[in-house]
A and B are shown apart, each in its own frame.
Chain A
């Protein structure tokens, strides 16, 4: 039951992009097309889940064990940066087509606040490893959901009559605000 709650909360009620404001840069940067959004979601899911596992183990067995919790920021980000680098190298060897498909998105994930944010939140929420993994997967789904819906909206906006001053970024923000408002409707669920 706990897991269902975590999943629904992460995807709908506390959507990582629309409610928590993590991952806004890719949200705006790649969401002008649905295909790029799908690619980004795949890459983020991959990195987020592995990063959550590794940082959880790091926190539990090294940071907490030696009482050096203040090192959390530094160690977590180094872990994430190295992970992304490793994932890039492995993917290039194991599945060059997938590597090509993800393209530029992979290195960009290092600076994605969503990955570091979820890693820190998993610790703050005091999840165990299994709950942490479920949380990470659910957050990636939430990220993907927000991204892909937004991309669809933006593709549609291209065909609309937008006042000149608002073309491009401003209208995207306002649409994002409305999307956030829509997601607020889920608040009562969890």
Chain B
């Protein structure tokens, strides 16, 4: 029994090893794509994969001569699993770069892997400010093609001042993304004379906001919302039923009204204003073509998840066009990446030297209308103002900014809350 089982084990091990080994082909570009394919974020994963693949399919699976091998691995939205899959992709499938992640926690888990293994990690969605700010020097192989959380909030604060918003109550999910989006808004809004009179931080995935809504200060003129998960649909409706909107202005993070949730929202969000680096209703030829193609292929209007991953593919293609389709090496690719300027569906994008995009920030307003030749009235994020060339530091002095504490629950402090 002993010899037999040892033998059996050996055979098993060899078979398994043979099954799992893969030979690396020198002419191809191997990209590991990490997404939460199963679990509650599965739809985001689908949108992201579709965005990236659409670009690939449009270009016959090649980036200027380099055949792209696109390997998707399921992170199950767990950071530990993301790390394991990333290491599998790097050590076994020998990918030359990792793309993806959705949650900030995944981004934070994967960034050190990129440093350790000296493999590029491109975060196409995770938006945590510090990945390209205070922590940027820890992650020299990390770049971001999407946005940083507070990036759209900074111009939005100015816009709010200039458009009659004076006293704001914020209801934002209690996690880092919420802190950063609200913090950025508060900073610029209060600098130009606005007042945040109340800050509330309900738990993530909360659906019943009644306790919070009932304590909204009646002298505010606007409510800034950032719900996550289930709350994305229920919070606006509960605000309406409680009579808070449309009496008060409804504003919020770009993610609150993004095309990912917009089709499921109702008329209660008409007139809601939010900032983001993308809107599917952006009326440029590039975006119109993108939206129409995406909608025809996948049956839904692309969200910023789809656009972000599509543009990431577009950016790689732009880089590979400079190397003639040859893999230049990790550091070299990153150096090339941060120097490019592309015309994406979201508009012109370039990079700052901390490897975060510099791009347009759009102030959008939810309207019910027909656009791009579609037959029905639907909810769209009409662009009402564009702030060009916005970096993650807005107009602030970078050194000053980095010295300040990161945006948290209590920073900036709520001066006007009693």
The finding on whether chains A and B are genuine partners in a shared complex, rather than unrelated, reads no
What is B's interface to A at a CB cutoff of 8 Å?
A: none
What is A's interface to B at a CB cutoff of 8 Å?
A: none
